[in-house]
Structure 1
Amino acid sequence: MNRTDRLYALVEELRAVSPRPRSARWLAERFEVSSRTIERDLSALQQSGVPIWAEPGRTGGYSIDPSHTLPPLGLTPDEALAVTVGLGMLASSPFREAAASAVRKVTAVMDARSLQTTAELAARIHFLDDGQARDAPAALGGVLGSGRVLTIAYRDRSGAETVRDVEPLGYVGKGTDWYLIAWCRLRAGVRAFRGDRIVSAEATGERAPQRELRPEDLDIAYGELRAVSIGR
């Protein structure tokens, strides 16, 4: 996470628990940086006008002005349940950390009665899988937004491992499996890389060229692709 993203995430974390404080140590562990880095970030936010203040004492920490928190979401328990179930289905995907963060934000701004009703309903919903962990690397979650070329180490079905530079184009999810769709420079073509076979992934400093991802390029032998859409 770069500093700009961390500053935004700090504000959202304090919003979610306002008016309760968070200690610098807790925030440092949450964002995997030092307490000194967190204190510098909070100071920068304060200087930019964000209403954050420090509460002294053993149980103190940093909090944000409750009047500047986000307004409650106008979600019914059924709508909140649909959101949490949908996000829960991403638990093995490259977006699992963002999904977990989104769930915390949704629940943080719900009123107590709606939250209790949603929690009771959610406790009656379960996911069935085959018990095999097939988590895609969490580092893949932000590659589309970054627009950078990736260097990945990939292990094929026979166990052979190769290192490739790839240009991320999109994702395909099938059950609990997630595939990174990318232009593979090693093979000079579009390839699908199953998430649990990606041993490591590291963004380079090179911006990937614009390429169009067409369903026919994927050569899917069965099933139909369904795109994710966000409507108004």
Structure 2
Amino acid sequence: MNRTARLYALVEELRAAAPRPLTVAALATRFEVGTRTVQRDLQSLMRSGVPVRSLPGRGGGWSIDRQMTLPPIRFTADEALALTAALASADASTPYAGAARSAAQKIMASMAGPASAAARELAARIVTLPTDGDSAIRTAVERAVTDSMVLRLSYTDAAGRVSDRVVEPAGLLTTEGRWYLIAWCRTRRAGRGFRLDRIAVACPTGEQARHHDLTALLLGSAAAGAVQPTALASLWRVTRS
């Protein structure tokens, strides 16, 4: 078994046993390698962001948080190439760009042979102009949307007017290369769209936001005809069922 396959197998072994920890010795026996090799593999998984952790003491060992991981997904070569291209095109101003980059790296690392060479060649042909997006603002917006948390914004509108807003995020909208936070604005008592590159400050309040239907907030606006991206539509239907 090569190292890449062993790393995947280690994750699945830990997932199958979770929440019970497994010792390095037991894992070494299972994969017929030395304990030092297993220890290095586990450290590599931890550095790459896989939620494995070491539990010290009697009855301890290594475990994984099953809620934070997915089982292996067998992509075809074409699917992996498409994902690599899509993820590589996410620039610094795109929401969840950091997660997209790490996902692309994991896909690339999992591929071998001609598929790997094709993916690397494709990645080398995709370039993007850097932007001046504020990573702290983008991160605050990402977390607010993911966790449904109220945000306090300092926002500059199209006319150059600056205002302070308290908003309850409903979702994200993209059009013509721009990203917008769609939210219920407590200040205006209505649904509003906030262009991410016009947000000067985004401070999480720690308060849980109420649920707001994204489609309902867009009604009557220029974005009323917005639709779910094709790649996400099936996922959206599953979460609604």
Scaled to the shorter chain, the TM-score interval is 0.5 to 0.7
Secondary structure of the residue aligned to 2:188 is coil
Secondary structure of the residue aligned to 1:19 is helix
CA distance in 2, matches of 1:187, 1:117: 51
Secondary structure of the residue aligned to 1:50 is strand
CA distance in 2, matches of 1:71, 1:217: 36
Higher relative contact order (CA 8 A, sep 6+): 1
- In structure 2, the residue matched to 1:45 is 54
- In structure 1, the residue matched to 2:115 is 114
What letter is aligned with 2:74?
A: G
Q: Percent identity?
A: 34
Q: How much is the aligned-residue C-alpha RMSD, in angstroms?
A: 3.5
What letter is aligned with 1:19?
A: D
What letter is aligned with 1:170?
A: G
- In structure 1, the residue matched to 2:41 is 19
Secondary structure of the residue aligned to 1:151 is strand
CA distance in 2, matches of 1:222, 1:162: 22
Cα distance 1:112–1:71, how it changes in 2: closer, same or farther (>3 A)?
farther
1:76/1:114 contact within 8 Å kept = no
TM-score by length of 1: 0.64
- The higher radius of gyration belongs to 2
- In structure 2, the residue matched to 1:79 is 79
TM-score by length of 2: 0.62
Q: Mark the runs of 5 or more structure 2 residues left unpaired by the alignment.
A: 1-13, 15-39, 236-241
Deviation at 1:178, TM superposition (A): 0.0
CA distance in 1, matches of 2:214, 2:43: 45
Asked if 1:165 is matched to 2:187, the reply is no
1:73/1:106 contact within 8 Å kept = no
What letter is aligned with 1:174?
A: T
1:71/1:109 contact within 8 Å kept = no
Secondary structure of the residue aligned to 2:55 is helix
Deviation at 1:230, TM superposition (A): 5.2
CA distance in 2, matches of 1:183, 1:89: 30
Cα distance 1:70–1:111, how it changes in 2: closer, same or farther (>3 A)?
farther
Aligned length: 182
2:184/2:217 contact within 8 Å kept = no
- In structure 2, the residue matched to 1:182 is 183
What letter is aligned with 2:118?
A: T
What letter is aligned with 1:163?
A: D
Deviation at 1:191, TM superposition (A): 0.3
1:16-56 CA distances to partner (integer Å, 9 max, x unpaired)?
xx73855x9xx6xx99xxxxxxxxx98x633464269xxxx
CA distance in 2, matches of 1:104, 1:150: 31
Higher helix share: 2
